[in-house]
Amino acid sequence: MPSTPTDASATPGPPDDTKRSYKIRRGRMGITRQVALDNLAERYAVPEGEDLLDLAALFGAEVPVVLEIGFGMGASTLAMAEADPGTGVIASDVHTPGVAGLLLGLDERGLDNVRVLEADGRQFLHQRIPSGSLAGVRVYFPDPWPKPRHHKRRLVGPDFAALVADRLAPGGLLHCATDWEPYAEQMLAVLSAEPGLVVETAGIDTRPDWRPITGFEARGLRLGHRVTDLLARRPV
């Protein structure tokens, strides 16, 4: 149940924009996706602004809300939203063709429990999500930044873990997945060290039944990668 909005500035500090954890990928879009972007964004977009978001006004009172940071082309987001219509989802990504694809999928399936954000989900989490308000945060296959000099750009670090722990409601779940084993090891170390989270699951080939296989994941599996799911919960 969402808590009363509080001052975000009193909780973990803003992310360092010089250590961006993603690559901006605009890409080209076909006419169908461009039309979806033009015509459906207003219907499904997260309301603009700088104030804390009123989640109850966005999805309805008593509706649990999950933030998904990075949804690719949106296939797994659509599948999970359709399977769990009682949960509100804020889906964020910086890939414009993927945003358009998700908008199109929402319209085609008639789903009304997803709101789409074309922006940095980590920044959004800091600036606009009230403390103690989220039922969950999903981070599926973030950029692993494999080169050692780029490790500081990885999304799941100590600052991010502390921020998520603050924004989760008691009992809320952080679910990360990666097919890059060194990143999985870092994730486990980071989440285990965060006092506001308790790691419940962390292992290779432990994908929960309710998380669909993503397109990126399928590609990694074809290449022989092993997938690790990590689930950490804010204590009740």
CB-based burial label for 84 (10 Å; 0-12, 13-18, 19+) = middle
Catalytic site includes residue 38: no
Q: From the CA atom positions of the chain, what is the Rg in Å?
A: 17
Measured distance CA(48)–CA(128) in Å, rounded: 10
Structure tokens belonging to residue 69: 């940071």
Measured distance CA(22)–CA(231) in Å, rounded: 22
Q: Phi-psi category of 156—alpha, beta or left, where left has phi over 0 and alpha has psi -120 to 50?
A: beta
Residues contacting residue 37 through CB under 8 Å, at least 6 positions apart? 29, 96, 99, 100, 103
Structure tokens belonging to residue 163: 């921020």
Catalytic residue, chosen from 17, 51, 120, 143, is 143
Known catalytic residues are 143
